[in-house]
Amino acid sequence: MLNRQQAPALKDAVDYPLTLKPYQFFRLPNGIEVYAVDAGPQEVIQVEMVFDAGNAFEDKNMVAASTNFLLKNGTRTRTAFDINEQLEYYGAYLNRNCYNETSSLVLHSMTKHLPELLPILRDLLTESTFPQEEIDTYRQNMLQRLAVNLKKPEFIAGRLIDVSLFGADHPYGKFSSREAYEALTREQLVSFYERHYLRGRCRIFVAGRIPSDLEGLLAGAFGDLLVSGAALQAPSYEVHAATERVSRVINDPAGMQGAIRIASPFPDKKHPDFPKVQVLNTIFGGYFGSRLMSNIREEKGYTYGIHSFLQAYTRLGAWMISTEAGRDVGEAAVREIYFEMERLRNEPVDADELSLVRNYMIGTLLGDLDGPFHIIGRWKNLILHGLGEEYFYNSVRLIKTITGEELQELAKKYLVPERFYELIVV
């Protein structure tokens, strides 16, 4: 019998077994790959269509992102208002996203309404017309948003640090501009749409309470489209990193706060050091109890928050430290960042700190595996990077077994100030 006078024994997160629920896989008649996770207590479903249609595939700046956004803004049979009204009628939500290599359409709905909603998705993919009035409205809205953002130091810093790492012409370094928006034409959008949505590559990721006839529903909606499962070859881009590693930019002469970005190129997820460095990064600046937070926020009070993270792009990566600090303490904050790098190079992480970080990271993974949408997100990340489930389990093993001495050697290899670009924008 349960003794309610006695607290249950505590159990470390690292002691819990982690299992990545497998997906169901099938292909539609045209070769489109479908990955589906059937889980969750609620009768809801997420359908995400991922296309090889990111920034890396565009001929002109902002064409990929603009095409993706305007997919929802009118077809031959539906106006933008009609599309939104029909989605709202079924209590559904349709989002679209554009990244460096891929773009996506993501549908959230109740499972029972999927037969009525898939034809809307098909309509967007086969009958979008890109009305000129919608393009004009989009352009005006984006120019207004850009004008507001250009006054923010953190916005400027995010753009400039990517240019330093990759170059302004690289997909990872390109950014929006007034000139790019003003140069957009309907012909450019239609051409990109025809190449990458009508005749490109598509993969579908489904999660939630999956209907028994999912394969038939998807085949009926998308199985006869000209898109396929064959990968598209993106143009090759050379990295033209900046030669100057330290930059100071005055965006607002009267500004009281500066945005700090310190970043270094880093290998992609396929590199054997990547999962190991994720542990090192967590200690350095990857969670609220990290060394950067403890020093620069808690002890020095220079900032409300500081974070370090690995940007895992498909072809390349970056190790980024990001914070905002008062104008008068920006240089001091930068010095403390390098001080924490030095500590990690000179001293192995002790057992207590490493145990805390292990439990934090495993606990985070446990949370990420709670629910079908998180699970399919984990699978999608692996699949789009060309990785399998062994990568997930290897990462878990490394979190549990990596030593302080191994982390010190990684710090000596990667946390070297000469590898990093340093930027403050006020």
Residue type, 367: G
In a domain, 2, yes or no: no
Of the listed ranges 7-11, 132-136, 317-321, the least confidently predicted one is 7-11
Q: Domain check: are 258 and 172 in the same one?
A: no
Bridge partners, 425 (sequence order): 249, 259
At position 88, the amino acid (one-letter code) is E
Q: Classify residue 216: in a domain, yes or no.
A: yes
Number of domains in the chain: 2
Residue 18, pLDDT score: 87
Percentage of residues of the chain with pLDDT beyond 70: 100
CA-based angle 314:235:31, to the nearest 5? 70
Domain end call among 176, 206, 222: 222
Q: 285, exposed or middle or buried, with CB in 10 Å at 0-12, 13-18, 19+?
A: buried
Residue 192 has pLDDT above 90, yes or no: yes
Residues 90 and 193 placed together within one structural domain of the fold: yes
pLDDT surpassing 90 at residue 30: yes
51 has pLDDT over 90 = yes
Per-residue DSSP letter, 283: I
337-376 pLDDT, tens digit each: 999 999 999 999 999 999 999 999 999 998 888 899 999 9
Instruction: State which residues form the domain around 68.
Output: 24-222
Q: What would the mean pLDDT of 173-186 be, rounded to a whole number?
A: 96
Instruction: Please tell me which residue, 229 or 191, carries the higher pLDDT value.
Output: 191
Residue 232 has pLDDT above 90, yes or no: no
Give domain status of residue 241, yes or no: no
> Is the domain of 213 the same as that of 250?
no
Instruction: pLDDT band for 228, please (50, 70, 90 cuts).
Output: confident
Same domain, yes or no: 163 and 254: no
Pairing, β 103-110 against β 257-266: unpaired
Contacts of 288 (CB under 8 A, 6+ apart): none
Q: Which pLDDT does position 9 carry in this prediction? A: 72
pLDDT in tens, 276-294: 999 999 999 999 999 999 9
198 and 259 share one domain: no
Q: What band does 227 get if pLDDT is binned at 50, 70 and 90?
A: confident
Q: What is the 3-state secondary structure (H, E, C) of 366-412?
A: HHHCCCHHHHHHHHHHHHHCCCCHHHHHHHHHHHHHCCHHHHHHHHH
Mean pLDDT across the chain: 94
Helix axes 404-414, 274-281, angle to 10 degrees: 100
Domain annotation covers residue 1: no
Q: Identify which of 309, 228, 312, 276 has the alpha carbon closest to the alpha carbon of residue 405.
A: 276
Q: Which pLDDT value is given to residue 307?
A: 97
Per-residue pLDDT tens digits for 366-410 = 888 889 999 999 999 999 999 999 999 999 999 999 999 999 999
Q: Examine the domain organization and report whether 117 and 46 are in the same domain.
A: yes
Using the 8-state DSSP alphabet, how is residue 110 labeled?
E
The pLDDT value given to residue 67: 98
Query: Quick check: 230 and 28 in contact, CB under 8 A?
Result: no
**Same domain? 393 vs 289:** yes
| Residue range 57-103, pLDDT digits in tens | 999 999 999 999 999 999 999 999 999 999 999 999 999 999 999 99
Task: Give the domain-ending residue among 207, 222, 237.
Answer: 222
Q: How far is CA 67 from CA 34, 81, 159, 293, in A?
A: 24, 18, 21, 40
Whether the predicted pLDDT of 1 surpasses 90: no
228, part of any domain: no
- Does residue 138 sit in the same domain as residue 106? yes
Single out the residue of 79, 183, 205, 90 nearest to residue 131, CA to CA.
79
User: Are 35 and 140 contained in the same domain?
Assistant: yes
DSSP code of 310? Answer: E
Q: CB within 8 A of 12, min separation 6: which ones?
A: 355, 359
In the predicted model, what is the mean pLDDT of residues 134-151?
97
Is the residue at 179 inside a domain?
Answer: yes
CATH code: domain of residue 137? 3.30.830.10
Domain for residue 187, yes or no?
yes
Asked whether the predicted pLDDT for residue 2 surpasses 80, the reply is: no
Q: Kindly report the pTM of this predicted structure.
A: 0.93
- Residues 165 and 251 occupy one common structural domain: no
Would you place residue 7 in the very low, low, confident or very high pLDDT band (cuts 50, 70, 90)? confident
Same-domain status, 156 and 256: no
Q: Does any domain span residue 6?
A: no
Q: Are residues 274 and 418 in the same domain?
A: yes
C-beta of residue 346 within 8 angstroms of C-beta of residue 407: no
Give the model confidence (pLDDT) of 290-318 as tens digits.
Answer: 999 999 999 999 999 999 999 988 888 99
Least confident of 104-108, 225-229, 237-241: 225-229
